[in-house]
Structure 1
Amino acid sequence: MNGKLLYDQRDVAAAPYAEGGTKFKELLGEFGELLGCFDVGDYISWLGWINHVNGLYARAEKVAKEFDDFLERVVQEHITDSDDGRHENNSKDFVDVLLWIQKENNAGFPIDAASIKAIILDVFAGGTDTAYTVLEWTMTELLRHPEVMKKLQNEIRKITSNESSVITESDLNKLPYLRAVIKETLRLHPPIPLLVPRMSTQDVKLKGFDIAAGTRVIINAWAIGRDPALWDRADEFWPERFLNNSIDFKGHHFELIPFGTGRRICPGVQFATSIDELALANILHKFDWALTGKKLDDTESTGITIHRKFPLLAVATPYSQ
């Protein structure tokens, strides 16, 4: 079974109609790659012309136009369906709610079409790609460490009555090792390794360095999570480290900040972790997993979100007691 199945499932959730999923996936992939590109003009302004020559600006304009056209179709299709009475009260989705807020002006301020498209892009770009990345790397580490996978499967299968059971959100509190595995994956493979850039609001002196107000600040969460001064066995995938301590990823422990911290911490922490835990618990409960026999290549891709460079290939065997 191709591990990219996890990605394909995301397509259905990301696009209002299944046929739009493939296009959305392609655009989102290129969007993330461009966001992670080095723009020399940001650092040496007089060299900005290089990006016209190497095609970076042209690619960015092309993706922006295609994304805008795609989102415009999404919005217009929802408007048409609403006007035709095709949406019942119990079938409204996120876009329908945004259009209702726009129509009723319930936000207290005007929301134009561009704002609706921007919100849709923010939610799907930030709420689907990163969650999928965590699942991708978690399965990679579990396939590399079959003893960890077996221990996790035993925990999951102990709380279910039979192989047809489904793990629900109410079961997650009974799965401490599952939470530990997710934490360890986030430590080694933060989906956005450099987080979101910040800006210094005032002059500050930090460890002998003078940082002026207005300086762009980039935090290397990937390096922090692998720092041997902070972690025992720093380069080893060892979920047990989280079973007997209170370290969490909600911004209170600076050695583990895959979602950032402070006022600008990712607002979707609970959503993302719940989705990842539910998906992982159910696929590990329903199937036994093994490598295809090929060497596991864990080369990373480039971009603002770090995926595997090559698809994860694994064999899924239905589990039966």
Structure 2
Amino acid sequence: MELLNVAILSSKPLLLSMILLFSLLIWLKLAKRKTLYLPPSPPRLPIIGNIHQLGKLPHRSLRDLSRKYGSLLLLQLGYNPTVVVSSADIVREIVKNHDIVFSNRPRTTAVDILFYGCKDMAFVPYGEYWRQVKKISVVELFSHRRVHSFQFVRDEEVELLINKIRSASLKGKSINLSEMLTSVLSNIVSRCVLSHKSEDEDGCSKFGKLAKRLMILFTSFCIGDMFPYLRWLDVVTGYIPSLKAVNAEFDSFFDQVIQEHRALESDDQVSDRKDFVSIIMQLQKDGMYEMDLTQDNIKAILLVIIQHCFHSFLFLFLRLGLI
């Protein structure tokens, strides 16, 4: 009995030390959590977090959540903590005063496959390449002077749209305004980026169909982005093969476009061409910026421009209720 009492007494300091250490770790974790002034967050479920609250129309679900929890809220989408901002003033503060902090974009499966491993201007990690590509986009591609230079393209396409509607009206024919607007959007983007219309002789548009597939895949739900240990399911469902197929088609398409521009350049016929492809290739030739633009860099930049143009126009059409 005395030996047992000695054993118990000798083990108490170790047990006490373990209890104190465990309590200290809990206190440090709670103290660290208190210092993180996180935005309000709706109740979440284990593993999936707030994914179940997005619904079939995520933009409307986010609107409803913002009305309930405020213009700045935190959602847990699987393994990804996500901050949702629905206030123009907060967005202005982020873009104007905290641009560098928010410059990095999440490297999703779609971004990694479609944009050549994030070699574009929107999803490339912050660094020297990011600064140079941003300078190209601000100074060369999206400056007020450059946007104004494409005004004739927008005027011509809108005039053609009006004439088509007038002609159909005079003949008493019905029209599909959504398809017509999508066609106008495709032609404007194609003419500004590539200097030619996207429509073929039969009225179909390979470029428009590719861009539409790009938008659908880019905004589709990816299991691996939410749950990394289930990434293999994106192969089984066909999501990753579809991304690679679209990337291969765009890759071949851009190779042909760049080859055509280089052929015209060698024949001294590029002087009047002011599309984005010729601008970027001229910058590559002149070496005006402190970086080497590879073929994949050019294709990634062109692709992200197309994606953002279509996204912006489609968002406008959605707001107007046209599609």
Provide the TM-score with structure 2 as the length reference.
Answer: 0.40
- The structure where helix makes up a greater share of residues is 2
Provide the TM-score with structure 1 as the length reference.
Answer: 0.40
Indicate the structure whose relative CO is greater, using CA pairs within 8 Å and at least 6 residues apart: 1
